[in-house]
């Protein structure tokens, strides 16, 4: 029945077999284009899918799901599996990024971060901020989620940490709310930068761009 209707439609429109094939290919191309468009970020760049993991669940597994490689990690605020939008100087961060960090060994660093979240300020810089600002009155320990990326070297990890914080700051005009201990060398400016220390030439990779600009 459907094929009969299609033949009648083709006759009424006077479509030749070649035109019919061209029309079908155009329709398929349009469908592929719109499917891809839904995956694009605000700047038109194709984004990778980002997976988030509850820190509390990782801690219960002794962080065995986190690799012990060089890498960069993002901490976000999530409630019932959904990001909690955070008001920034310029707009709202609907990705709810709380902290961006890098590590020589991701698993070991995240273990220290978890202890910091739970009140051991000496284990991670985030702990000092949480205690001083009483962040625990707003964000529960079960509302922290993490995403990470393994990188080849520690230098690349630190470079992407800088690129991520810079990209975030360019977008919201301030660093993530728990990144209060940004190292001085991150603010490298030509004329006052410290050779070999200041971060002045890193572009955000796909992982970083997908989180911040998607």
Question: Smallest Cα–Cα separation from 47: which of 165, 209, 166?
Answer: 209
CATH number for position 87:
3.40.1440.10
In a domain, 48, yes or no: no
In a domain, 38, yes or no: no
Region 19-43 average pLDDT: 47
In a domain, 160, yes or no: yes
User: What are the CA-CA distances from residue 4 to residues 8, 11, 24, 108 (Å)?
Assistant: 6, 11, 17, 66
In a domain, 6, yes or no: no
Range of the domain at 125: 53-213
Torsion over CA: 8, 10, 14, 16 (sign): negative
Q: What is the pTM of this model?
A: 0.73
For residue 118, pLDDT over 50 is answered with yes
How many separate domains does the chain show? 1
In a domain, 135, yes or no: yes
pLDDT number for residue 30: 45
For residue 66, pLDDT over 60 is answered with yes
**Alpha-carbon Rg for the chain in angstroms:** 24
Region 31-55 average pLDDT: 61
In a domain, 161, yes or no: yes
Question: Smallest Cα–Cα separation from 148: which of 94, 61, 67?
Answer: 67
In a domain, 24, yes or no: no
The torsion defined by the Cα of 53, 55, 61 and 65, in degrees rounded to 10, comes to 40
């Amino acid at each position: 029945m459907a094929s009969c209707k299609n033949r009648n439609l083709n006759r009424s429109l006077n479509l030749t077999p070649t035109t019919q094939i061209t029309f079908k290919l155009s329709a398929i191309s349009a469908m592929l284009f719109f499917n891809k468009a839904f995956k694009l970020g605000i700047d038109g760049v194709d984004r990778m899918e980002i997976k988030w993991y509850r820190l509390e669940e990782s801690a219960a597994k002794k962080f065995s799901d986190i690799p012990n490689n060089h890498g960069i990690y993002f901490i976000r605020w999530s409630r019932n599996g959904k990001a909690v939008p955070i008001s920034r100087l310029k707009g709202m961060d609907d990705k709810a990024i709380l902290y961006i960090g890098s590590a020589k060994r991701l698993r070991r660093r995240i273990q220290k971060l978890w202890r910091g979240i739970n009140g051991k300020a000496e284990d991670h810089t985030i702990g000092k901020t949480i205690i001083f600002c009483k962040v625990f009155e707003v964000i529960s320990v079960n509302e922290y989620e993490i995403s990470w990326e393994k990188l080849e070297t520690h230098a690349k990890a630190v470079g992407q940490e800088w690129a991520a914080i810079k990209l975030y700051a360019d977008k919201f005009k301030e660093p993530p709310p728990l990144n209060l201990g940004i190292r001085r060398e991150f603010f490298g400016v030509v004329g006052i930068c410290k050779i070999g220390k200041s971060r002045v030439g890193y572009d955000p990779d796909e992982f970083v761009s997908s989180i911040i600009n998607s």
